[in-house]
Structure 1
Amino acid sequence: MDTIRRALLGQIAKLTAGAALVPLSSVASAGMNDQPPRREGDPEKRYGMLIDLRACIGCQACTVSCHIENEAPLGSFRTIVSQYEVAHEGTGDVATFMLPRLCNHCDNPPCVPVCPVQATFQREDGIVVVNNEACVGCAYCVQACPYDARFINEQTQTADKCTFCAHRLDVGLLPACVESCVGGARIIGDLRDPNSQISRMIDEHRQELMVLKPEMGTAPHVFYLGMDERFVSRPDARPAIWDVRDQKGEEVGYEFGSH
């Protein structure tokens, strides 16, 4: 248990770099590349997730529940909460910033067109998934993802990632990470339903919402409320306090394992 706890909680690093603030509206019109036709899922829906960082306390309940629900190998994660110690440049005062990370289920996912067997594809409801029966484990999609959200599952030898717990959504349940979030920081829903909680929150906070790496043109559908603008791009950070290691004793790193 101590090993598992260290692997799940040891994500603390120190921030030193900045990035530009880009409003949500700037990614709304991002175009599609040459993607194969979408299949499966409800074409009437478009799922997205809003993460309210003002409510995230870094408890890692989402990380643990996802790990259990999806049976990911030790040291590999479909979602994590990176914890950063941020030093004020003027005063030197230190604060902690929490940043939940997962697949962004982009409208223009770069992981899809690079798959030589179309094992990675986008459902009609926008969720990006992997057909493990077709995947050959080439890891092209792992390298193509700008969010470090994919890994090769050492048990199945195929690509693995967050799926918004599509198997739960399809039967009317919430994803494990959403259901277990003690602060209610993760909100998932249908963006095409104007009455859904996520649609109402986007309307209310549109000018405050940010996405990760908007310059990549992927049109990510994980939105952050309360984001420090310096985290929009991958921060220049270094591990601190804990060395996080996998079962082989190799350092996992400060973001996703196996990256």
Structure 2
Amino acid sequence: MPQWAMVIDLDKCIGCQSCTAACRAENNVPFIGPDEAELGRAIFWNEVLFDIEGEYPHVDASIIPRPCFHCENPPCVKVCPVGATYKREEDGLVLQRYERCIGCRYCTVACPYGVRYFTWYDGEWPEGMDRYQNPDVPLRPRGIVEKCTFCVHRLDEGLPIPACNQACPTGARYFGDLDDPASEVSQLARSPRAVRLLEDLGTEPRVFYLKEGL
């Protein structure tokens, strides 16, 4: 079985957030209004972070897309008291059993990357919007934690490309088998341009970033 991993080329990323929009549509990620966002209740399975310094026209911007990192040693799995968060050994994905989750949020605290989200919403969409739901992905009930799955429903059906990768207009994202030395992902992950966030924590994340000069 493949061991899935993602590589994101920060020198190609333009911050368009097509990946975020595609992820929301593919995985039924709830849309919220500004009032809920102010309360810190936004949910992003694939958030794009911006760090902008300076003033126009002398502006320096850093852009970092942030999915779940599907760590080799995931701290979220270790702290879950009911086994709701687990690592699927056959392909390395870190997944969630929604029916087991008790909403204690230990995992959100344990995750050093900030990519796990408590669901404040009841799983029902506004009238008329249900036509846009993806029937292949379950709606999450209120009171549980959710996150990026690398589009596991696609992978399990033999479509080895997450929606975020498919939507990227600049080809900044790569996805594949990290254990296959001939795969593009495996080769890019060994590139001198490749870095992983917070490597000193020993989580061994399976999302790699490419950036010149790091």
TM-score (norm 1): 0.66
1:107-130: per-residue Cα shift (whole Å, max 9, x none)? 110000110100100012111000
* 1:133 alignment partner, one of 87, 95, 99: 99
Residue number in structure 2 paired with 1:194: 181
Q: Is the contact made by 1:202 and 1:209 (CA closer than 8 Å) also made in structure 2?
A: yes
Q: Is the contact made by 1:72 and 1:153 (CA closer than 8 Å) also made in structure 2?
A: no
Amino acid in the other structure paired with 2:118: I
Q: Is the contact made by 1:210 and 1:227 (CA closer than 8 Å) also made in structure 2?
A: no
* 2:203 alignment partner, one of 218, 221, 227: 218
Q: Is the contact made by 2:188 and 2:194 (CA closer than 8 Å) also made in structure 1?
A: no
1:181 aligns with 2:147: no
Partners of 1:109 and 1:86 in 2: CA distance = 33
Residue number in structure 2 paired with 1:63: 20
Offset at residue 93 of structure 1 (A): 4.2
1:160 aligns with 2:128: no
Q: Secondary structure at the match of 2:2?
A: coil
What is the aligned residue count?
181
Extract unaligned runs of 5+ from structure 1.
1-43, 230-259
Offset at residue 57 of structure 1 (A): 0.7
**CA, structure 1 residues 109+146, in 2 after alignment: closer, same or farther (shift >3 Å)?**
same
Offset at residue 227 of structure 1 (A): 6.4
Extract unaligned runs of 5+ from structure 2.
32-41, 122-140
**CA, structure 1 residues 228+162, in 2 after alignment: closer, same or farther (shift >3 Å)?**
farther
Q: How big is the alpha-carbon RMSD for the aligned residues of Structure 1 and Structure 2?
A: 1.8
Partners of 1:128 and 1:58 in 2: CA distance = 26
Partners of 2:210 and 2:93 in 1: CA distance = 21
Offset at residue 188 of structure 1 (A): 0.8
Amino acid in the other structure paired with 1:69: E
**CA, structure 1 residues 51+152, in 2 after alignment: closer, same or farther (shift >3 Å)?**
same
Residue number in structure 2 paired with 1:107: 72
Offset at residue 200 of structure 1 (A): 2.6
**CA, structure 1 residues 228+132, in 2 after alignment: closer, same or farther (shift >3 Å)?**
farther
Residue number in structure 1 paired with 2:83: 118
Partners of 1:100 and 1:84 in 2: CA distance = 12
Residue number in structure 2 paired with 1:79: 46
Partners of 1:197 and 1:213 in 2: CA distance = 23
Q: Is the contact made by 2:193 and 2:213 (CA closer than 8 Å) also made in structure 1?
A: no
Partners of 1:153 and 1:85 in 2: CA distance = 29
Moved over 6 A (4+): none
Partners of 2:188 and 2:106 in 1: CA distance = 35
Q: Percent identity?
A: 46
Amino acid in the other structure paired with 1:220: P
Offset at residue 94 of structure 1 (A): 2.4
